[in-house]
Amino acid sequence: MFLKQSLSFVFSLLLFVLVGCDSGSDDDATVFVDSYVHFYNASPNASDAKFHLDDQPYSSADFGDVTILYTVDENTYNFKLTRKDNYGDDVDILEDSVTLRQGVQHLFIMTGDFRQPELMEFDFTLTDVDDGFVQLHIAHLAQNLAPVDVYISSSTETFADAEFLASLDYKGFSSSLSKEAGDYIVYLTDSGSDNIVFQSEDIILSELNRYVLALREDFGPGTSSVALDRISNSSSVIEYQDINEAAQYRVYNSIDAIDNVDFYRNGLDNSADFTSLNNDVFSDYMLSSFGDFTLSMTEAGNADNVYFRDLLLTLNYADSKSVVVYNDEEGLPSALSFEQDVRPLAYQSDANLVNIIADYSQVNVYFVRSDETLDTATYTYENLDFTDVKNFTLPTDTYEIYLIYEDENENRFLLYRSEPITLQDDINYTFIAEPDAQEVNGFKVNIL
């Protein structure tokens, strides 16, 4: 389970319940006097997108995120989505005329390829939610997921006890469902069969809330290719993975003096996951179940010569991780690990920057385009400590990479400068700042 939180639940709940409704009717039922709108980003290769109503900008959402719920007047609006270009300027993605109605909650959803996205609208008339219950809708937003049947059970039950909720195809929405608040498991099966293709972690449904459970694309290592997002009236999205989804990891050895190594998981008595791995290259990914493991590195073919033993590695459902081996400050082999995003992006790339240079307390890395200098570069990462890992996105463009040391007098010294490199979208990159005796100044940034 993964929580993405941008604004507090309390603020959004107050906005939704107190500002936008009037409870003065005779039968004490809430009368919702405004329209309510929010935006969810389900485009699988998208980055941040912002929505506008009649050129009034509201908030933005990255893939798998939702904006807060806004209260607006009933009216017809020009709905527009924008993204940022390589230099941070707004670019229109799509626009459409939409009618927002009194007492209706409108969820606008971006799907499809981010280069040519589609806009969906899902709306429902607001009614009171009974004490002890939730209002639930299911949405199928995963283009690569075949038609499915959706079932739900208590978290203490099994699929044999599950209740059928809906049959859904891509872009399908269920009708409104009322369920008692509690902890649940959602199951997806192939349409018309009991073959389970997805089983969620425990999902918490709290009373008096309205939820959309969105099935959307996922980019884990296994065959599931779908995750479930719990969307509420706040800007929090909780992501739930398939408990049967695999994890994966790969390794990189940066130590020039140690080449041709083997890696073992959970002890040297097991078969090696990777054998005869050369330095300065990533291995392929190795599939794994989720769990906590130890990792050991030995000389290739000689398990008695151990370089390090029992590094802890945690892999959760659908994780992709990279392990980087380096010399610590005492010159002994060690390793670090970090999450590796494998989702392809349009217009940009996901990147990880790793500093394993122990010679300096901190270094700076600059990605400089042809019309920039070190002083004007947009994408700069300064004060990187030894073993720091930075995750960020870089727009598709051509860059020179500078590795710089700055002393206490703010004098800058060049440690490495790359040739111009053109990044490609749909590819994610790892940049490793590391020692290299073959380079003029003894360092490099390896691009992987």
Residues 357 and 321 in one domain: no
The predicted structure's pLDDT at residue 1: 63
Closest-CA residue to 372 (of 340, 403, 400, 411): 400
Residue 96 and residue 98: Cα distance in Å, rounded? 6
Number of domains forming the structure of the chain: 3
> Using one digit for the tens of pLDDT, what is the confidence trace for 195-231?
999 999 999 999 999 999 999 999 978 666 899 999 9
Lowest-confidence segment of 51-60, 62-71, 218-227, 322-331 by average pLDDT? 218-227
Report which of residues 262 and 425 the model is more confident about: 262
Residues 347 and 336 in one domain: no
Report which of residues 238 and 27 the model is more confident about: 238
Length of the chain: 448
Of all residues in the chain, what percent carry a pLDDT higher than 90?
Answer: 88
- Which positions ≥6 away from 431 have C-beta within 8 Å? 351, 352, 353, 354, 365, 401, 445, 446, 447, 448
- Which positions ≥6 away from 376 have C-beta within 8 Å? none
Residues 134 and 73 in one domain: yes
The predicted structure's pLDDT at residue 236: 86
Is residue 36 pLDDT above 60, yes or no? yes
Residues 236 and 254 in one domain: no
The predicted structure's pLDDT at residue 224: 65
Query: Please, which pLDDT band fits residue 28 given cuts at 50, 70 and 90?
Result: low
The predicted structure's pLDDT at residue 10: 35
Work out the mean pLDDT of the chain and round it to a whole number.
92
Residues 260 and 387 in one domain: no
* Domain ranges, residue 98: 2-240
pTM of the model: 0.90
The predicted structure's pLDDT at residue 385: 98
Of all residues in the chain, what percent carry a pLDDT higher than 70?
Answer: 93
Is 79 within 8 Å of 107 (Cβ atoms)? no
> Using one digit for the tens of pLDDT, what is the confidence trace for 279-334?
999 999 999 999 999 999 999 999 999 999 999 999 999 999 999 999 999 999 99
Residues 68 and 178 in one domain: yes
Residues 141 and 270 in one domain: no
Segment 74-78 mean pLDDT: 97
Residues 107 and 119 in one domain: yes
Give residue 239's identity as a one-letter amino acid code.
E
Degrees, nearest 5: CA angle 12-131-152: 85
The predicted structure's pLDDT at residue 6: 40
Q: CATH number, domain at 366?
A: 2.60.40.10
Residues 280 and 368 in one domain: no
Is 429 within 8 Å of 418 (Cβ atoms)? no
> Using one digit for the tens of pLDDT, what is the confidence trace for 155-187?
999 999 999 999 999 999 999 999 999 999 999
Is residue 240 pLDDT above 50, yes or no? yes
The SS3 of residue 321 is: strand
The predicted structure's pLDDT at residue 23: 42
Residue 14 and residue 49: Cα distance in Å, rounded? 25
Residues 273 and 347 in one domain: no
Is residue 7 pLDDT above 50, yes or no? no
Residues 322 and 351 in one domain: no
Query: Please, which pLDDT band fits residue 234 given cuts at 50, 70 and 90?
Result: confident
Do the strands 182-190 and 90-100 form a parallel or antiparallel pair, or are they unpaired?
unpaired
The predicted structure's pLDDT at residue 21: 46
CB-based contacts of 20-26 (< 8 A; 24+ apart in sequence): 20/71
- Helix or strand run (H / E) with residue 25: none
> Using one digit for the tens of pLDDT, what is the confidence trace for 81-122?
999 999 889 999 999 999 999 999 999 999 999 999 999 999
Last-in-domain residue among 240, 271, 295 = 240
Residues 64 and 194 in one domain: yes
Report which of residues 148 and 18 the model is more confident about: 148
* Tokens found for residue 388: 């720091």
Residue 8 and residue 15: Cα distance in Å, rounded? 11
Last-in-domain residue among 323, 340, 357 = 340
Is residue 77 pLDDT above 70, yes or no? yes
Residue 394 and residue 383: Cα distance in Å, rounded? 19
Do the strands 320-327 and 247-253 form a parallel or antiparallel pair, or are they unpaired?
parallel
Last-in-domain residue among 240, 262, 293 = 240
